[in-house]
Chains A and B, each alone.
Chain A
């Protein structure tokens, strides 16, 4: 670690040295290239996870009917094109695993943490560029290992993405020996990658801010990523530890989670959700941060309540540690403990509501410009609100007893993960696309994609609330075999058709993304007229970013400021005659009081 080069101001010559293709694009240490690598890999996993979801939907909508193209799958998965129960549970497990660990999490924390932190705080690269490269390649390896699960004997893991023991710990119960093992190994490798990445993000934000970039001049996206990295650094090792214990149970005969030999199955749930609930916020906080930036930009107004936004992020992150028990109300945990978790969970809705209120406050009487990023960001706010409100339902123990493990939970989860995080990504990808690739994504296709996604997405996930209220359990292979769930078959079929449409619409996005790489409109320096430091760089941003770190004179949300003259924005690095030079104020860099 000691040999990692330090970015010294002025002594920066990385972009003068010619680099081979491999050093520049494959084993790159440049944070932007690593971010782009993460982008391509996690979009692939997003597509893969979506493909698994489509197979789940086929089985639920048309149980017992041969799936189109199902014939090409091996006999262990399908029989005459019909999905077998053994394969169905693999689909459910791996859809969750890929989407959470290999699509949304790397899209937020791999792509945008890497890409945005140095650009937005004004530095040349991450604090530990080589560690950063390792972080990507470890995540990539973990992804390959996870995919390999489908190709081992007995197929992929079968215990659901939450891997509840003892089902996950004992191959004789789950029926999959190697699949379960592969899952654990992959998660351990992924955890290492996340920890290394997050150590890097935190150090960079603390130590490498440009002169004048004080804590409270940082954009909310950087704040959110910073806090999320703290969550990741503390939460992922717990999952790693749990996965290692599970791996030992499966391989060397330990008995951590096997009740017959004295182990505790509930211990797995505690360990998993102690990680799992901070993980929930790892998956949403960066999205919130980026949406804050985009909404302020699209409203041409300063963000409403900047400080309260920061403290809300910190508050959510803190409360996220003491709510894990709300996943376990029905596990046989002490009911008194349950009410404690209920209260702490309900408390989280306070900072979350502050954020929603502030987004609305930002848009209120703003000069709204509905570009594609702005549309998706506003969709994020509304969908997150629905998902947050259904979250309050399940936080209340008595209500949760009815809806626990039903499609109501599935609906809630997808409203915050798809409606929340993924819409935020549909906003962030076109928004920072010009800085990544130097071209704009097509606005026309983007708008088609947005509206069609928004409509079909709601058609897919809103009815799931109703299914869940009527008692349909999730992960059922064929709900229609239950008398009381039979009448809902029409609704399931409707959801399936809507889901296929939703999936099909995503190819618009894919096309737009790939087509614009070569054919998109050339991007100017600052296409969204934003204040962030990254927009002072050419598009795409050059290797090494700035020759000298820029000086920062103000916060990132100075839209429609009277000082700006005719423009309605005032970039952070622009010096007005009244501005003091920050270098003089912070040059000796004494240890700050925070």
Chain B
């Protein structure tokens, strides 16, 4: 299939024609759900902004408590998974249902839907894995949702340099950090589980075709949204 027809496909959704918006119901429903999810994260992020910038005492410096390079790599992983999601979408639009296929005259093989979906799932799962490791390390060093644990590493260094570690605001730091990143991680987990479900029920049995790839497009929307939320969270939690 040429690129031009692929573009035409995007303009005219593959679902059975329904009266109304011209966008098939699954996709429309997902957009509406995402609007709702935006409001959910707005509640969390808005609370964070009010709590953090409403405090007179300094907030912990970026990098003092959190491992920013590790999370930077994690962010890269999530962005990669968004790219592979787009590749998966492009593959099924072009009718490539296979895993990998050699291309004459080229070193790299050509990835199909099965390949790119698997890459997305693995990247997403790795993101959650790294986040779990990060949580364990933080709790080990003494950051809990209630603040720095008595007698922990963080509690000691915060005593020495209260401004850098935000000693007075540690309780709110822990509260907001674990809540926001935790709910994002929960969203990623839900996405990975849904994609695994689709992978075994629809992708592997080759149920998708250039005529109907609604599941891929819909889960793709969700996945990009979760990625976008992370970019915002990473910026305001880890970088500022």
**Which A residues form the contact surface with B (CB < 8 A)?**
1-4, 6, 8, 127-128, 131, 195, 198-200, 202-204, 206-211, 233-238, 240-242, 244-245, 248, 252-256, 261-264, 267, 270-271, 274, 586, 589-592
Contacts and interface: CB of A to CB of B under 8 A. Distances in A.
Contact of A6 (B15, B33, B183): B15
B47 A592 contact: no
> Which 9 A-B pairs have CB atoms at the shortest separation, nearest pair first?
A241-B43, A253-B146, A254-B175, A2-B215, A591-B22, A237-B40, A207-B20, A127-B25, A237-B39
B29 A237 contact: no
Interface of B: 15-26, 28-30, 32-33, 35-37, 39-44, 46-47, 50-51, 54-55, 57, 144-147, 168-169, 171-172, 174-176, 178-179, 183, 198, 201-202, 214-215, 218
A192 to B, nearest CB: 10
Given A207-B20, A264-B54, A586-B19, A199 B175 contact: no
Nearest to B47: A267
A60 to B, nearest CB: 36
Instruction: Determine which residue in A3, A4, A254 has the highest number of CB atoms from chain B within 10 A of its CB, and name it.
Output: A254
Contacts of A234: 35-36, 39
Contact of A242 (B30, B43, B168, B175): B43
Tell me what chain B mostly uses at the interface: helix, strand, loop, or mixed. helix
Nearest to A253: B146
Instruction: Determine which residue in B16, B19, B147 has the highest number of CB atoms from chain A within 10 A of its CB, and name it.
Output: B19
Instruction: Determine which residue in A198, A238, A241 has the highest number of CB atoms from chain B within 10 A of its CB, and name it.
Output: A241
Given A253-B144, A262-B55, A208 B179 contact: no
15 contacts: A1-B218, A127-B28, A199-B29, A211-B19, A241-B44, A241-B47, A244-B183, A253-B145, A254-B175, A256-B176, A262-B168, A263-B172, A263-B175, A271-B46, A592-B21
B40 A240 contact: yes
Contacts, number: 159
Nearest to B42: A238
B43 to A, nearest CB: 3
A546 B22 CA distance: 23
B32 A261 contact: no
Contacts of A206: 20-21, 28
Given A252-B146, A262-B168, A589-B19, A267 B51 contact: yes
Given A241-B41, A245-B43, 15 more contacts: A1-B26, A195-B33, A199-B29, A199-B32, A202-B29, A207-B23, A233-B35, A238-B39, A238-B43, A241-B47, A254-B146, A256-B47, A270-B50, A589-B17, A589-B22
Contacts of B57: 262
A248 to B, nearest CB: 6
B18 A2 contact: no
